[in-house]
Amino acid sequence: MITKGTSFSIEQFHEAGYSGPIQALTLEEADRYNQLFFEELGQSKFEPGPTKINLSAWHHRRKWAYELATHPALVEPITQILGPDVVLWAMHFWYKEPGNTKFIPWHQDINYWPMEPAINATAWVSLGWSIRENGCLRIIPGTHRSIVPHVDLGNDASAFQEGIDASYVDESKAIDIEMTPGQIVYFNEATFHGSEMNSSNIPRVAFSVRYTTPEVKFKMADWGGDTNRIRTFQVRGEDRFRLNDDIIGAIPQQ
């Protein structure tokens, strides 16, 4: 499914647990950020290879990544989902070089996140092409209404140790979200999602940004105190709760 130019639908988001893809970045922007991504890896986009670099929280230390995470085209639909007060709390690049054999198992993000209450909206953005062959994002619509058990998968090909207990997954309802550069899809903290390996010679370069609201408290002890990954940035509106003052992030200057 490759779509262009449709608009974000809050009704669809509530009904199906996701909305999109929509064009968020221009092709020029997507190309520029794609280039910056590979520069950070120390690679050329023409010769994408594996990396051992930590792909989380570049917005803590790179101005361009912070600009990307707070890009108005990403954040505007987030205000429709979360309301006027928006907190950016995490960002991660999901990169699969050509031939990467790992798959991302079906999961619900909230299974891994100690936050109270469980409120999150994710913007998943494709900087290059995301197609079936390179392991595009997959979603099961309507699965965001309940939390289901996650189990140890015992599968070395899985990028995560834990995923949803297979008896809760109806693969026949899964959709492949194929995307062109600069497109974005939104989903919430409980929507089932995952992706297959990259069996093509096209890199899959994408990132997700996580947003929440100020009344959510991050239980940092349960995150192992990992402020290299989790920091809060008030990107819209105001914080009348002040629950996470100890983990406020600093906007990188370069």
Cβ at position 66, least distance to ligand AKG in Å: 18
Q: Which is nearer to ligand AKG, 87 or 185 (CB)?
A: 185
Tell me which residue has tokens 């834990």.
Answer: 162
Backbone conformation region of residue 66, classed left if phi is above 0, alpha if psi is from -120 to 50, else beta: alpha
Contacts of 223 (CB under 8 A, 6+ apart): 114, 229, 230
Q: Can you name the residues that pair with 162 across neighbouring β-strands?
A: 152
Q: Which is nearer to ligand AKG, 114 or 237 (CB)?
A: 114
Q: Which is nearer to ligand AKG, 196 or 239 (CB)?
A: 196
Cβ at position 119, least distance to ligand AKG in Å: 15
Residues 32, 33, 35, 37: what is their CA dihedral angle, to the nearest 10 degrees? 170
Cβ at position 253, least distance to ligand AKG in Å: 27
* Closest by Cα among 84, 94, 83, 120 to 216: 120
The residue ranges that bind ligand AKG (CB under 6 A) are 94, 104, 109, 122, 124, 137, 193, 195, 206, 208
Cβ at position 137, least distance to ligand AKG in Å: 5
Backbone dihedral angles phi then psi of residue 74, each to the nearest 5 degrees: -80, -45
Q: Which is nearer to ligand AKG, 70 or 100 (CB)?
A: 100
